[in-house]
Structure 1
Amino acid sequence: MSRKQREQERVRGIFARRALLLGAGQMGLLGFLAWRLHRLQVEEGERYATLAEENRLSARLTAPPRGRVLDREGRVVAGNRLNWRALLVAEQTADVVATLDTLSRIVPLTETERARIEREVRRRRRFVPVIVREFLTWEEMAHIELNAPDLPGISVELGTTRLYPEGEHLAHVVGYVAPPSERDMDGDPLLELPGIRVGRAGIERHHDRILRGRAGAVQLEVNAVGRVIRELDRREGSQGDDVQISVDAELQKAIRGKIEEGTSVVLMDARNGEVLTLATRPSFDPNVFNSGVTAAQWRQWTANRATPLINKPTNGLYAPGSTFKMVMMLAALEARVTTPGERVFCPGHMDLGEARFHCWNRNGHGSVDMRQALKVSCDVYFYEMAKRIGIDRIAAMSRRLGLGVPLDIELPGARAGLVPDRAWRQAQGKPWALGDTVVHGIGQGFYQLTPLSLATMTARIATGRAVQPHLTRAIAGRPVRGSRPEDWPSLGIPEQHLRLVRESMWAVVNEEGGTARAHRLPAALGAQMAGKTGTTQVRRVTREQRERGFRVEQLPREWRPHALFVAYAPHDNPWLACAVVVEHGTSGSGAAAPLAKEVLVEAFQRLRPGNPTPRVAQVPRT
C-alpha cells in the first residue's frame, strides 16, 4: 500500500471515530431530552400545570363595607356613603402632564396634588392606577365622564366612605376613622387594601375589628408582567357587624342645644349603667377626617383653649366639691364615727391649730344633724366627719362608689381620675397632714374626678348596685351582657344607710332651705328628683379677700369656681342618674342645678322608662 493510500486510510479512521463519538453524543443528548420531557410532562406535569395556572391568575382582596353604628332607637350615627374617585392609568395616555392640565380645567388640582400624582406615576408601573382625587361631587364626576374622550387614562371608580350624619353632636362618642398607619398593621391583610379605614377614637376604635368585616376576593387573568387582561370571578366581602349604642341621638342634640362652652352633661340609666347622653361643648366634625384634616384646621383645634378634641365627660378632671358629701355620709356611717341624729355646731368656720377652715355660709348653720348637713351643704359638719373617719376610709368608700377607679366605658383613653390616700401621698415623698383630710371632707384638695364617675356614683347610690357605665347595647342584633339590673352585684352597703343618703338628697331639692330648692322638677311631670349641688374653687380665696367681703362675680371668668350638680329621678323609683359640670359657672345652685333640671325634663319627655333590658333595633342595611 502506497503512502498516499495509508494516509487516506488514516483520515477515514479518524473521521469514523469522530463520527462515532458525535453520534454517541447526539444519542446521549436526545436521550437526556427525552428523559427530561418525560419527567416534565408525565411525572411533574400536574405540578407545572398548576404553577402555570397560578401565574395566569391573580387573586386580589377587596375591601368590605364597614359596619354601621346605630343609636338606641336604631338611627344610623355612623354609616357609609358612595365615594366617587378619579384614577389615572399612565400607560393609557401619551402625555400625563397634558392630561392633568385638561383635568384641572374641570376639577381644579392644587400644586401639592399635582406633585403627589406625578411622584406616584414615576414610582409605580405605568399600568397601575393612581388616585387623582377622592370625594368627587356628583357634578364633578359627571363632568369627568362627559369629557372622557379628552381625558385619556382618566377613569372614575365608585367606592364607599364613612359618613357621620350627626356631625359634632356625637363626635366624642362615635369617634372617627382614618387610613391605617404602620403601627396598626397586625397581620390582617385587609389593612393593606387601598381605601380601607380603621377606627381612631370612640366606638369606632373600641369595636374596630367588629366593624371592619371580612374582605372579598376578585380573580383576574393577567399577562406575564402582571397587567390585568380580564376579570374571571368575584366574591363579595362580608360587611362588618352593626353596633348599637345606648345614646339617644335626638336627646343628645337637644341637650347640647342647652349647654354652653365648657359644660359637660352625663345622663345614665341608673338601673343598668347604660349611658343615655354624653354631651359637651365644644366638639368637632368627624367627617373632616375622611378627606384629611388640613394643617390650618388642626392648628385651629389645638389652639382653642376650650379643647374641642377632648371628651370632657370622660377626660375632664375636676374636684367634686360638695357633690362628694354623700360619700362622706356613707363612710361615716360605715366607720360608726357618728349617728344620723348626732348634731354638730357650725359657727361658719372650724379652727385646726393655726389654720381656719371656712364654711360657705359665713354666718354658720348652727346645730345640724347628718340629714340637715347635706340639705344645707354645711362644710363644718363634713370637716368634723373627715377628722373622725380618716382619709384611707374615705378613699375606700369613694372607690366603692366608682370614683378614682377605671370605669368599663368603651371609649379608649377615658381617665380614671384620682382619689388620694396616705399611700399616694407617701409615694410623692410627702406626709399626709390632718389639714389635708379636713379639706378633702368637702371634696376639695387633690381630688380629680370626671363627670362620668360622678354620674356613676349617683347611679350606685340610687340603686345600691355596682353598675358600670357602658355604651354598647347590642352587636349584630344580639344584646350584650350587663344590660339587666341583675347583672350588677350589690355594693354591700346597708339599705338603711343608702335610704338616709337618698332622703337627704331629696331634701336638697324639695324641702325649704335646700340648696337646690328653686330647681325641683315641675309638678306636672309627676316625678321628683333628688340631688346635690357642688362648687369647687379653681383659685384660693385669701383671708384679705374674705375680710373685704369680695364676691366671686368680681373675678375674671377663668378664675371663678366650677359649678356641679348630681341627681337621680324619680326619687321613689330611680332610673335616671345625671351629672352636670359647668366650668367657671360660679355656683352649683346657680348654674349646674337649673341645667340638670332641664336635662331631666327633656329625658322624661323623650325616653320611656319601661324595661331596662334593651330593645334591639332592627334596621335594614342599604
Structure 2
Amino acid sequence: MERSRNEEQTRYSSFSRRSLLLGGGMLLGLGTLVGRLYQLQVVEAERYRLLAENNRISMRLLAPPRGEIIDRQGIPVAINRQNYQVLLVAEQARNYRQVLDRLGGIVEITEADRERIDRDVSRVRSFVPVRVRDNLSWDQVSRIAVNAPELPGISIEVGETRHYPFGAVLSHILGYVAAVSERDLIEQNDPLLQLPGLRIGKSGIERTHDETLRGAAGTSQVEVNAVGRVMQELTREEGQPGHMVELTVDTMLQNYAQQRLMGERSASAVVLDVTNGDVLAMASVPSYDPEPFGRGLTAAQWRALTEDPLNPLSNKCIAGAYAPGSTFKMVVALAAMEQGIDPGERVFCPGYYELGNHRFHCWSRGGHGHMNLQDSLIQSCDVYYYDVARRLGIERIAAMARRLGMGVPVGIDLPGEREGLVPTEDWKLATIGERWQGGETLISAIGQGFMLSTPLQLAVMTARLVNGGRAVVPHVTRAIHRPGGIEPTVKAPPPSLGIPERHLDIVVEAMEEVVLGRRGTARGARIDLPGLEMGGKTGTSQVRRISAAERAAGVFRNEDLPWHRRDHALFVGFAPVGRPRYACAVVVAHGGGGSAVAAPIARDLLIETQRRDPASREGPSGPIAALGGQG
C-alpha cells in the first residue's frame, strides 16, 4: 500500500514538472510571437509599409530627346524626327502570327522581321509590347487604324528617330546611332541603356559626344499588379534633353567637296582653317547613308557595306594610310636647314643617285641639273632629297615629321584615327627584326618605303607650315550649347613648334612657285583670280616597285595598269598666297599623277572655301563676283 502511494506521488510530481515546462514553453513562444508582432506592426511598420508600396508602385525611366547637331552656320545636320511605330502585345492578339499575316497585307513584314518578332515575344512577358515596324508613313498609319478591329494586339506609338537631312554627305563626320549592344551595357554603367529601343552613338561625332547628346532620363511612376502589368501611370517627369553640339564644318562646302570627289572611285579631301584647326570640310568617297543603322540593317545591307572593296564605312581622311610621296619633301627640307645645310647649296641631278651597288631614280629620267632647296621643291627633284637624306639620317627626318603631325595621332575629336607611320631604325628592328639600311633612308625622304600618312595629317602638316609654325590641332567640334551658355572647344592659341621663321618662309615661297611659277609641277592648276591664288605641293606615290625591265621598256604608265596597281595622286595646298588662311589636302587612291588629278580638285576646293568666307568678299565687283558659277 505504502509502495503504491509512493509510485502515485512520483507520477504526480513528474506530471507537474512536465506541465510547468510545457506551460513555460508556451508562454515563452507566445511572448516571442507577441514581441515579433509588435516589432513588425509598431517598430518597423513604416519600413514594411514602404516595401509593400514599392511592390505596388514601379519607377520607370523615360528616354530623353537626343541633342541636335548643327554646323557652323547653324544648319541642323542631325535631328530627331517623329517616328510612327507598330507595336504588338501577344497576350491581346492571342494568335499573334495570324495577326501578323493580316498586318502584312497593309505594311511589309519581312521574314527577318518575323524572326526578330518571334525572338522578342519569347523573351518578354506576354503583356509587354514588341516592336513590329518603324518609320511608318501617315498613309500606313491611317490604313492600320481603319483595320484596327481585325488587328487585335496591334497599336501605333509615336516616338523619335534620328534623321540626317544631308545623308551620305556628312556620314563620315556625324557617324550614326544604333541599338545598344551587350558590350555597351557592360562597359557603360548607365541604366538608361536598358530602355528598349534606345539608340546610342556608334561612330563619328554621335559617338564622341554620345553622353552629351544622350541627355538625362526622365521618370514615370506606374501602378503595377502582382505580375508586373501596368495598371495606371501615377506621376511623370520628363527627362533633360541632350545638349546641342555645334560643328566647325560648313555643310555647303562639305557638300561641294563630296560632289567634287564623286568622279573618283576612292578619294578623300580635308580643308582646315590654319589659324585654329577648324575642320571646314572632310570628304571621303565612297560614302554611306547613316539612317538605316538607326532602324537596324538587314544582313544583306551589312554584307554589302562590309564586303565592298572600296570600304565605304571608312573615313579615309583619318583612317586611310597612304605613302605621302613628294608632299613629304617639305619635312626633309626643314630638317636639313635645322641641321645647318645651306638652302642655297646645289646638288646635281643626272636623273639618278647611286648608293653602293644600287641606283635610285628621279622621276625625271633626264635629270634636273643643279638644284638648290627651293628649286628641288618647285620641280620636285628626287635626287636632291636622296643626297640630303643620306647626310641627315632617318632619325632627324622622323623627328621633324612628328613635330609637323606625321606618324603620331593629331588628336582630332573623331574615333578611328590612324597614326600613320614614320619609320626609324628602332621601329624596323622591333617590328620586322631587321637592321635599317641606308637605301631605306633615301626612299623615305621622298615619302615612299615604309612611310605612311593620312590625308588629315597632310593637311595638318601644311597648316603648321604656313601659319608660322603653330601646332594647330584639328577638330570638328566648335562648341557645346549648354543651358548655362555656349562652351567653345578651342580656348587658347596653338603653341609654337620652335621652327625658325626664315626656314618656314623659304619652304612656303617654294610652295607658292610650285603653282605660280613657270616650272612648278602644279602650274596647270593655278587660280587665276587676284587675291585668291594658292600655293602647294604635288605628290605621286607608287603602290608597287617598278622593275628594271619595265623601266627600260618604258611600260609603266598608270593608264596601262589595272586600277588597283596605279599610283596614288596627292596634293597639299594653301590659300590665299601671302596671307594663308586655309590648308587643303587631297588624296585620290590609284588616281595617277598628283599634278593632273589631285591638284585641280584642291584648286576647286580652295576657290569654293574662299568664296564662302565673308572676309574674302569685296563686293559685287570683287574677285569672288568674278567666279560666277565656278565652284
2:518 is matched with which residue: 512, 523, 526? 512
Contact 1:169–1:253 (8 Å) recurs in 2: yes
Work out whether residues 472 and 480 of structure 1, in 8 Å CA contact, stay in contact via their aligned partners in 2: no
Partners of 1:597 and 1:38 lie apart in 2 by 88
> Using the alignment, how far apart are the partners of 1:28 and 1:482 within structure 2?
74
Q: Does the 8 A contact of 1:272 with 1:482 survive in 2?
A: no
Moved more, 358-367 or 459-468: 358-367
Partner residue, 1:216: 218
- Tell me: CA distance 1:25–1:382, structure 2 relative to 1, closer, same or farther (3 Å): closer
Q: Flag the 1:39–1:368 CA change in 2: closer, same or farther, 3 A.
A: closer
Query: Matched residue of 1:135: which SS?
Result: coil
Contact 1:323 1:566 in 2 (8 A): yes
User: Residue 221 of structure 1: CA displacement?
Assistant: 1.3
Structure 2 counterpart of 1:233, one-letter code: T
Cα deviation for residue 426 of structure 1 reads: 1.7
Task: Please state how far the C-alpha of 1:318 moved relative to its aligned partner.
Answer: 0.8
CA distance in 2, matches of 1:403, 1:589: 22
Residue equivalent to 2:416? 413
SS in 1 for 2:453: coil
Aligned-partner residue type, residue 539 of structure 1: R
Q: For residue 363 of structure 1, what is the amino acid of its counterpart?
A: G
Residue deviations 1:425-452, cap 9 Å, x none? 1212211111111111211111011010
Per-residue Cα deviation, 1:567-597 (whole angstroms, up to 9, x for no partner): 1111211110000111122211111111110
**Are 1:100 and 2:100 counterparts?**
yes
Matches within 5 A, 1:456-605: 456-463=460-467, 464-476=469-481, 483=490, 486-524=492-530, 526-550=531-555, 551-605=557-611
CA shift in 2, pair 1:480/1:354, >3 Å: farther
Q: Which residue in the other structure is 1:617 paired with?
A: none
Other-structure match for 2:306: 302
Alignment of 1:30-109 (within 5 A): 38-109=38-109
Q: What RMSD in Å do the two structures reach over aligned CA positions?
A: 2.4
Cα distance between partner residues in 1 of 2:527 and 2:285: 25
Q: TM-score, normalised by structure 2?
A: 0.89
CA distance in 2, matches of 1:102, 1:557: 51
CA shift at 1:323, angstroms? 0.7
Q: Do the aligned partners of 2:532 and 2:607 also contact (CA within 8 Å) in 1? A: no
Deviation at residue 127 of structure 1 after TM alignment: 1.9
* Residue number among 227, 230, 237 corresponding to 2:229 in the alignment: 227
Written as runs of structure 1 = structure 2, the 5 A alignment for 1:372-383 is: 372-383=375-386
Paired residues for 1:173-192 under 5 Å: 173-185=173-185, 186-192=188-194
Amino acid at match of 2:553: R
Whether the aligned pair in 1 keeps the contact of 2:176 and 2:293 (CA below 8 Å) is yes
The answer on whether the counterparts of 2:421 and 2:451 sit within 8 Å (CA) in structure 1 is: yes
Match of 1:15 in 2: none
Q: What amino acid maps onto 1:563 in structure 2?
A: A
1:476 partner SS: strand
The alpha carbon displacement at 1:421 in A equals: 1.0
Aligned residue number for residue 14 of structure 1: none
Amino acid at match of 2:612: R
Residue 450 and residue 31 in structure 1: after superposition, are their counterparts in 2 closer, same or farther (change >3 A)?
closer
SS at match of 1:272: coil
Partner-residue secondary structure (3-state), 1:523: coil
* 3-state SS of 1:276 partner: strand
Q: Which amino acid aligns with 2:588?
A: V
SS for the counterpart of 1:247 is coil
Distance 1:34 1:267, change over 3 A: same
Residues 45 and 506 of structure 1, relative CA distance in 2, 3 Å threshold: same
Q: Which amino acid aligns with 1:143?
A: R
Matched with 1:206 is 208
Q: Residues 175 and 205 of structure 1 are in contact (CA less than 8 Å); yes or no, is this contact kept in structure 2?
A: yes
- 2:256 counterpart letter in structure 1: A
Deviates more, 1:368-377 or 1:291-300: 291-300
Change (3 A) 1:417 1:119: closer
- Matched residues, percent identical? 54
Shift of 1:325: 0.8
Q: Which moved more, 1:511-520 or 1:212-221?
A: 511-520
Equivalent position of 2:8 in the other structure: none
Correspondence for 2:448: 444
Gaps of 5+ in 2: 1-18, 617-631
Amino acid at match of 2:426: A
The aligned counterpart of 1:262 is: 266
**How much has 1:36 moved relative to structure 2?**
5.6
Per the TM alignment, residue 515 of structure 1 is displaced from its structure 2 partner at its CA by 0.9
Q: What code does the residue aligned with 1:587 have? A: G
User: What is the letter of the counterpart of residue 240 of structure 1?
Assistant: G
Residue by residue, what CA displacement relative to the aligned partner does 1:400-428 show, whole Å, maximum 9, x if unpaired?
10000011112212100000011111212
Instruction: Please list the CA deviations of residues 2-33 of structure 1 after superposition, one character each: whole Å capped at 9, or x if unmatched.
Output: xxxxxxxxxxxxxxxxx999999999998877
CA contact (8 A) 2:477 2:489 kept: no
Alpha-carbon distance change, 420 to 144 in structure 1, aligned in 2, over 3 angstroms: same
Please give the alpha-carbon distance, in whole angstroms, between the structure 2 residues aligned to 1:72 and 1:419.
Answer: 34
Secondary structure of 2:47's match? Answer: helix
Structure 1 residue 480: Cα displacement: 5.5
Deviation at 1:248, TM superposition (A): 1.1
Q: CA deviation at 1:396?
A: 0.3
Letter of the 2:441 partner, please give it.
T
* Contact in 2 for aligned 1:481/1:487 (Cα 8 Å): no
Distance 2:24 2:548 in 1: 119
1:314 corresponds to which residue? 318
Instruction: Render the CA deviation track for 1:230-284: whole Å, top value 9, x for unaligned.
Output: 1110000111111111111111111111112211101100111111111011011
User: 1:320 offset after TM fit, Å?
Assistant: 0.8
Separation in 2, partners of 1:323, 1:98:
66
Q: Is residue 2:196 matched to residue 1:194? A: yes
CA distances 1:589-611 after superposition (whole Å, capped 9, x unpaired):
1111111101101111123359x
Matched positions, count: 590
Distance apart, 1:220 and its partner CA: 0.7
1:330 matched to which residue of 2? Answer: 334
User: CA–CA distance in 1 between the matches of 2:321 and 2:30?
Assistant: 87
Secondary structure of 1:136's match? Answer: coil
| Aligned position for 1:12 | none
Residue pair 2:225, 2:231 contacting (<8 A) in 1 also? yes
> Scaled by the length of structure 1, what TM-score is found?
0.90
